[in-house]
Chain A
Amino acid sequence: MLAASHLAYRYGRRRWGLLDGHFSVGGPVVGVLGPAGAGKSTLLALLTAARLATSGTLLVSGLDPGERRQRRQLRSRLGFVPQSLSIHPRQTVDEFLAYVGWLRRVPAARLAEAIADSMLATDLTELRDRPVRSLPVGARQRLVLAQVLVNRPSLVVLDEPLAGLDPEQRAQFLARVAAMRDDGTTVVLATPLAEDVAAVCTEVIVLAAGRTLFSGTTGALAGAGETPDPPGPGEMLAGYHRLLAGAGAVAG
C-alpha cells in the first residue's frame, strides 16, 4: 500500500525534512512513529500529495503522487486530519462539513447525503447546526473525524490526532480508528507514542531525524527481529527505544 525508495524532501535549499526513505508496508492500519522533528509530518505531506518529493519514488495505494493525474486521483480518495486542526469557532458543524465536501469535490447532488452519513457515523446529527465553539471537546474531536468521512475515502491519514486528548478521549478516538479499519478503510496514523501504534496499528514506519529506521510489522519492531506474535505494548516500546538509541535520537 505504501512503498518508497530513496524518498527525500528538502525545505528550501538546505534543510532536509526527509532523507533516503525506504519502506514498503501494507494495511490496514500503518503507524508512522517517531519523536518530534523526525519527519512524520513531512512524510504525511508526501503521502497526501500536499507536497511533492524532491527525489526518489513513492507509491500510495498504487498511485504516484508525482504524476499529475494520479495525484488528483489520490487526493480524491483521501481523508486527512492535519496536525492541530482548529475549526473556526463560529462555523457550524454543517457549514464545515460542506466546506470539506467542496474541497474534496464531492458532487453537489451527493453532498447532503455524504454530510448526513458522516454525521451519523460520528454521532453529530443532533449537533449539525451548532457552532463549533459550543461543542464539547469530544464532539469537536468527532467532527475532526467526520470531515474525514465526507468523501468516503479509501485511505485516511491522521497526523497526531491524539495530541491534547485525555485517556478516555484517546480510547474513544482509537476505537473509531479501529471501526474505520473494520469497514475496510486503510489508515495511516502518525504519532510520537508507541502505545498508540501498539493499540491499533498492524505495520509501522519508524522515523528519526528524517531517516527511516524501521518499516515492517509491529511484531517485528517489538522483537527487534525476533517477531513474537502477538507483541505486547511493552515489548514494542522496548524495541522502539532500542532503535532510537541506536540512531542517537530521543523518543517523544
Chain B
Amino acid sequence: MRPGLRALRTELTSRAGRVVGLLSVAVALTTGLMRMPPPTGPSWSATFNEALIGLVGLAPVCAGAVAWLVQDYQRRGIAALAASSPRGAVGGALPRVVGALLWALVGYLVLLVISALRTTHRGLPGWPPLLLVLLATAFLAAGAALGWAVGAVATVRAAPPLLAVALFVGGYAGSYGEDWFGRLAPVDRMSVYRSFLQPHVRLVLAQVVLLAAVAALALCVPLAGGLARRWTGLSAAVVLTGAVLVLSKTDPDPTEIRAAPREPACAGGPIVVCLRPENADLLAPSSMALSAAAAALAPYLPVPVRFSEPGIDRRVDHGPGVYVPPPVAGDPLAFEAAALSAIVPPPCPRRIADASATMAYGDVLIWADATVNGPAGMPAYERQRFARILTENVSGQREWVRRHLTAACS
C-alpha cells in the first residue's frame, strides 16, 4: 500500500477517526430518519435536496472534528515535525483532514441512501439534480476548511465545539432564509421540488463557486507566508465575484422548470395529456379528470385540447393547458383541482396581490368546480351566493365568467 494511503487508513481507523466516523453516521441517520419525505411526487431534485438539508447537522460535525484533529496535531508537536519535512505542516495534516472529510462524506452517503429509498422516482437522475450533490460536497469541503483554519489558530479547547454550534445556527437560519440571505445559504428548506422542477443551475453553480472561495480563504490560514497572502487576495476576489453573480445575475427563485423529456408519456382521446415518463402512472386519472372537467366547462369558456406538464410544451408553470400533476397519486380531489387550474388558469402571468382580483379568480374556480361536480360539494355559505349564476343560461354564465376573469387581471 502506498505510504500516503497507509497514513490515511491509519487516520480513518484510529480511535479519533472512528469517533468522527461514528458521530457522522449517527448524525446522518438521525437527521435522515427524522425528516418526513416531502409530498412532491417523484423527483430526484427533492431527493437530493432532502439529503442536502441533512447537512445542516453533518457539516458542523465535520468542521468541529477537523478543528479538533488539527488542534491535536499542533498540540502534540506533529505539526512542528511535519513543518521541517518536504510535505510541510499543511501536507502533514492532510491525512487527518481528509480522513474526517471522508467520514463526513460517508455520512452524506447515508443521507442520500435514506432519501433515495424513500423516493418513488424510477430511472436515473439527470445532471441538474446531481448539482445538489456537488453543492453538498462543496459545503462539506468548506466546513472542513473552516475547521482547519480554526484548529490552526485557536488553541482554546472550546473552539471546535463553538465552531460546530456557530455553523449549525448559521446553516439552520440560512436554510429558512429568503432573498439575499437565502440565496447565499447552500441549504434550502423552503423550496418544494415538484416533479417538473429542478435546482436553478446558475444559482447552484454560483453557490459552489462561493463555497470553493470560502474554502480557499480558510485554507490561507494554515498556509502561512507570502503565498498565503496572495491566495487571500485571489480568494477574496473570487468570493466577491461569486457573491455578485449570486445576488445580481440570478433569478431569485431557487428552482427552475426542467427541460422537456425526450419521450414524454402521452394519452390521446378527445384531449391529449402529456406527462414526464416518471409520472406515466398518473396519466389515466389525469386524463379522466381533465376530460370530465373540459367537457363540463367547454360551453362557457375556451377549453384547451392539449394538456402537458410544465416544460414539455412550454417552459412556464401557468397558462391554459399547463397541467401540474398532483403530488399525491390516488386522490381524486387533487386531480380535479389540478384539472381546473389547467383549464381555467389565472388570466395574468402572475397572480396579482390585489384582494379583489384574487377574489374574482377564486369565484371563477368555485363556479368551475360547481359546474363540473355539481353544487352539492360547495360550502353552505357559498351556495346562496352562487345559486343565481349557476341557474342562468349558458350565455349569461359565459358573460359572468368573462367579467370575472377580466376583473382578476385588473
Contact = CB atoms under 8 A, between A and B. Distances in A.
A49 B84 contact: yes
A108 B5 CA distance: 11
Nearest to A159: B80
Interface of A: 45, 48-52, 72, 75-76, 78, 80-88, 90-91, 95, 98-106, 108, 111, 147, 157, 159
Given A108-B2, A108-B3, A103 B85 contact: yes
Contacts of B268: none
A90 B4 contact: no
Given A75-B85, A78-B85, A85-B80, 17 more contacts: A45-B83, A50-B83, A75-B84, A78-B84, A82-B81, A86-B77, A95-B10, A98-B3, A98-B6, A98-B10, A101-B3, A102-B7, A103-B87, A103-B91, A105-B85, A106-B3, A111-B3
A80 B84 contact: yes
A82 B3 contact: no
Contacts of B85: 75, 78, 80, 100, 103-105
Interface in B61-90: 72, 75-78, 80-87, 89
22 contacts: A45-B83, A48-B84, A49-B84, A75-B85, A76-B86, A80-B81, A80-B84, A80-B85, A81-B81, A82-B77, A82-B81, A83-B80, A86-B75, A86-B76, A86-B77, A88-B14, A91-B14, A98-B6, A103-B81, A103-B92, A105-B85, A108-B3
Contacts of A98: 3, 6-7, 10
Interface in B3-47: 3-4, 6-7, 10, 14-16
A63 to B, nearest CB: 13
Contacts of B2: 108
A85 B76 contact: yes
Given A98-B7, A101-B3, A102-B3, A90 B14 contact: yes
Nearest to A48: B84
B84 A85 contact: no
Contact of B87 (A83, A91, A105, A159): A105
A91 B11 CA distance: 9
Contacts of B87: 102-103, 105
Contacts of B81: 80-82, 85, 100, 103, 147
B225 interface: yes
Contacts, number: 84
A104 B86 CA distance: 6
A157 B77 CA distance: 14
Interface of B: 2-4, 6-7, 10, 14-16, 72, 75-78, 80-87, 89, 91-92, 95, 225
Contacts of A108: 2-3
B84 A99 contact: no
Contacts of A49: 84
Contacts of B6: 98, 102
Contacts of A83: 77, 80
B2 to A, nearest CB: 6
A88 B73 CA distance: 9
Contacts of B91: 103
Contacts of B4: 102
Contacts of B78: 85, 87
A171 to B, nearest CB: 24
B14 A99 contact: no
Nearest to A77: B86
B225 A52 contact: yes
A50 B86 contact: no
Nearest to A104: B85
Contacts of A104: 85-86
Contact of B86 (A51, A81, A84, A105): A105
Contacts of A75: 84-86
Closest 6 CB pairs of A and B: A48-B84, A50-B83, A82-B80, A102-B3, A103-B85, A85-B77
Which of B10, B72, B225 has the largest number of chain A CB atoms within 10 A? Answer: B10
B305 to A, nearest CB: 71
B54 to A, nearest CB: 31
A83 B74 CA distance: 12
B83 to A, nearest CB: 4
